[in-house]
A = this chain, B = another copy of it.
Amino acid sequence: MKKNVLIVGAGGVGHVVAHKCAMNNDVLGDICIASRTQQKCDAIIESVLRKNHLKDTTKKLYSRSVDAMDIPSVIQLIKDTKSEIVINVGQAYVNMTVLEACIETGVVYMDTAIHEDPDKVCENPPWYANYEWKRKERCAEKGVTAILGIGFDPGVVNAWCALAQKDYFDTIDTIDILDVNAGSHGKFFATNFDPEINFREFRKVWTWIDRKWVLQKVHAIKVDYDFPVVGNCPVYLTGHDELHSLSKNIDANSIRFWMGFGEHYLNVFSVLTNIGMTSEKPLKIAEGVEIAPLKVLKALLPDPASLAPNYIGKTCIGNFIKGTKDNKPREIFIYNICDHAECYHEVESQAISYTAGVPPVAAAILIARGDWDVKHMVNVEELDPKPFIELLDNMGLPTEVIEKPATFAAPVIESL
């Protein structure tokens, strides 16, 4: 039985993690939210208290300031807060320093997105091998449970792959992970999470086809799919974290990721990219100042957290899986629908942050209970999916399964 949770990061996802931890603090114990900017943590705590979400009021919910890039500071924070579970939802640049601190102190580590080096974009696959998996042995030696990518995608979609393999299929041919936000925030343009991380995703498309890595161009391959509830939406072949572990851990010929974009989004994105605004490379401005255009763009765009109050509509994230069972072809669509306004009503957040923030708390509960306290480093598909999916059913992210769904018809995808 592990307890006391340290949340690193006070962005949109951290907000949801804090709410859900508070709602389960009878199991999870004291909760500390730490970030470079302590005010952001305090604003989250205010939201939790405003919503009366502290289930056990004898447990603490408090904030700290921390430089998550500095290992000794994180170690000290873990010790000071007596945390046994760290949920890292800070910027993707801090994953390795926070993980190191967890290994040093022997506590549980979780994150929701892959580690990134600020100076490198879209490195060679599989991405987890570049940073995370290099620490696999040390986690095992120290008996440290580290769960990588336990948000929604990566995260829940990985668990669905494991479930499909266990219960639905004997052989899997293709897994198409489809992520569409059919909601509307009413702004001219905004990203639903950190624009810096968001735009870095859209440089190259690494995808897993016929058991090989294939490189494609961004927004080049489009498929229209008739989603449950949200209806017909265009999705584009996109590179994404989960392919880099699923390709190793799931026995399927092809595993692809597709993201929904509207015409307006693509037009704005195309203009910004062509102008050079999405570049992370420092640019010399005439006056002698050097700054990465992407940082300027981030400062100009709405704070993703600010979108929540007026967000309407729903997200649909699901896996279209094709294979055989008992020697017969089978197709299923396993998915979740999440409503922006309902998320706001519950935890003052939008659905993108909600879907990413609830799963690590479910995982923390499973670890506190002992179910998932595996004492080594894993990606989500390596864990038993059932208790996780069951827990999520009751935490706001129910899983639905359609047998014989509308067919997802991808074209033949060749390498550039």
Query: CB-nearest residue of chain B relative to A297?
Result: B275
State how many angstroms separate the Cβ of A309 from the closest Cβ of chain B.
Answer: 21
0/1 string, A293-334, CB within 8 A of B gives 1: 101111111000000000000000000000000000000000
A229: Cβ under 8 A from any B Cβ: no
Q: Which residues of B contact A295 (CB under 8 A)?
A: 285-287
A289 contacts the other chain (CB 8 A) = yes
CB of A272 to closest CB in B, whole Å:
7
Complex contact B285–A296 (CB within 8 A) = yes
Docked Cα-Cα span, A285 to B188, in Å, equals: 20
A286: chain B residues within 8 A (beta carbon): 295, 298-299
Bound-state Cα–Cα, A283 to B295, Å: 11
Across-interface contacts of A51 in B (CB, < 8 A): none
CB distance from A313 to the nearest CB of B (A): 21
Partner of A277, one of B274, B277, B283, B285: B277
CA distance A296 to B274 in the complex (A): 14
Query: In this assembly, does A291 line the interface, its C-beta being within 8 Å of a C-beta of chain B?
Result: yes
A271 adjacent to chain B (CB < 8 Å): yes
Expressed in whole angstroms, the Cα–Cα distance for A291 and B286 within the complex equals 11
Q: How far is the CA of A259 from the CA of B297 in the complex (A)?
A: 29
Which B residues lie within 8 Å of A293 (CB)? 296, 300
Kindly list chain B residues whose C-beta atoms are within 8 Å of the C-beta of A272: 271, 275
In the assembled complex, A276 has its CB within 8 A of some CB on chain B: yes
Contact of A300 among B268, B283, B287, B301 (CB under 8 A): B283
Cα(A267)–Cα(B300), bound, Å: 19
Is the CB of A131 closer than 8 A to any CB of chain B? no
Number of A interface residues in the complex (CB < 8 A): 25
User: How distant is A21 from chain B, measured CB to nearest CB, in Å?
Assistant: 26
Residue of B nearest to A274 (CB): B188
Closest Cβ–Cβ distance, residue A296 to chain B (whole Å): 5
Cβ-based interface call for A212 (8 A): no
Select one of B189, B275, B289, B297 contacting A301, CB under 8 A: B275
A284 contacts chain B at the CB level, 8 A cutoff? yes
Q: Shortest beta-carbon distance, A299 to chain B, in Å?
A: 5
A295's nearest neighbour on chain B, judged by CB, is B285
Chain B, Cβ-Cβ closest to A189: B275
- A289 cross-chain contacts in B, Cβ below 8 A: 289, 291
CA distance A289 to B297 in the complex (A): 13
Instruction: Name A268's closest neighbour in chain B (CB-CB).
Output: B271
CA distance A293 to B277 in the complex (A): 10
Which B residues are CB-close (under 8 A) to A285?
291, 295-296, 298-299
- Are B275 and A300 interface neighbours, CB within 8 A? yes
**Chain B contacts of A298 at CB under 8 A?**
285-286
Given contacts A276-B300, A285-B291, A285-B296, 12 further A-B contacts (CB under 8 A): A188-B275, A189-B275, A271-B272, A275-B297, A275-B301, A283-B299, A285-B295, A285-B299, A287-B295, A289-B291, A293-B296, A293-B300
Seen from chain A, the residues whose Cβ lies within 8 Å of a Cβ on chain B are 188-189, 267-268, 271-272, 274-277, 283-287, 289, 291, 293, 295-301
Interface pairs A-B: 9 shortest CB-CB? A271-B271, A188-B274, A276-B300, A285-B299, A296-B296, A268-B271, A285-B295, A283-B299, A289-B291
User: What are 10 A-B interface contacts by the 8 Å CB criterion?
Assistant: A188-B274, A268-B275, A272-B275, A275-B277, A276-B300, A277-B300, A285-B296, A285-B298, A291-B291, A293-B296
